[in-house]
Amino acid sequence: MFRNDRVKETLDFYYKTYNVPSFIKDDPILIPKSYSKKQDIEITAFWTSMLAWGQRKTIISKSKELFGIMDNSPHDFILNHGEKDLKRLEQFKHRTFQGIDALYFVDFLHRYYFEHESLEYAFVKGIKDEDEDMINGLIGFHDFFFDSENAPKRTRKHVATPARNSACKRLNMFLRWMVRKDKSGVDFGIWDSIPVSKLLIPLDVHVRRQAEKLGLLTRKQNDFKAVRELTGILRTFDPEDPVKYDFALFGMGIAEKETIRTLK
């Protein structure tokens, strides 16, 4: 079992430094924080996390553009849109996410929210009692999301699954937002059926770089096996809330960039 008190102290320091309300203003979580209705929070959090690649400023800007098309009432739009409303979505684009993908997201969410009050069920339905983490919840959600003859094949690349050994960074970030509960006010913690202990670290190149420097990760590929390896180590520091250290690893990356910028 991995043990290093200095590493834990470092992670705890950066966790406390960045898991604060001031973190919100520069992070994509700013978008769902603009809403109060539970369904609006879920929809904007899910969609924003799916668009979360590239610079944070761009992600926030494109998300504002997207929900502006929905008159900043996404749940109402999802349930009550007409053909003219959908036309406005056809021109939306962020990197490789295009109008055809946006239209299918609306199609799924329209069908889903007519039957369910919360998006939580879509992730809970695949979880097994003996599961240590969210692997089956993530696989189940992906299969559920695309269980339609209307699902474009190209849209599948925008919703990851462990079945393809994907790191599922964006989905894991979304789940952190929805599930984690603490007093900082950053994560929402509005879902109750998923234990925080089952969450997995949102792994991207920046998080893995810091994890490697600390000796927390040996696997070289950015895949689901690496996610499980890193989360497993972080569980030794906090078995009940391992992904709180996402703030720390991300924050260490920011601190490193600021140091380099200062030196220049």
- Identify the DSSP state of 97: B
Question: What is the distance between the alpha carbons of residues 38 and 9, in angstroms, rounded to a whole number?
Answer: 36
| Res 2 pLDDT > 60 | no
Q: CA geometry: angle at 37 spanning 33 and 43, to 5°? A: 70
CA 3 to chain centre: 28
List Cβ neighbours of 133 (8 Å cut-off, separation of 6 or more).
198, 199, 200, 228, 231
- Identify the DSSP state of 54: S
| Res 261 pLDDT > 50 | no
Write out pLDDT tens, residues 63-90: 999 999 999 999 999 999 999 999 999 9
Asked whether 134 and 200 are in contact (CB, 8 A), the reply is yes
- Identify the DSSP state of 119: T
Write out pLDDT tens, residues 15-34: 999 999 999 999 999 999 99
Average pLDDT over residues 25-50: 97
Write out pLDDT tens, residues 163-200: 999 999 999 999 999 999 988 999 999 999 999 999 99
Write out pLDDT tens, residues 98-142: 999 999 999 999 999 999 999 999 999 999 989 999 999 999 999
Where are the domains positioned within the chain? 5-263
| Res 229 pLDDT > 80 | yes
Mean pLDDT across the chain, nearest whole number? 94
Question: What is the distance between the alpha carbons of residues 201 and 230, in angstroms, rounded to a whole number?
Answer: 7
Q: Is the dihedral of CA 95, 96, 101, 105 positive or negative?
A: negative
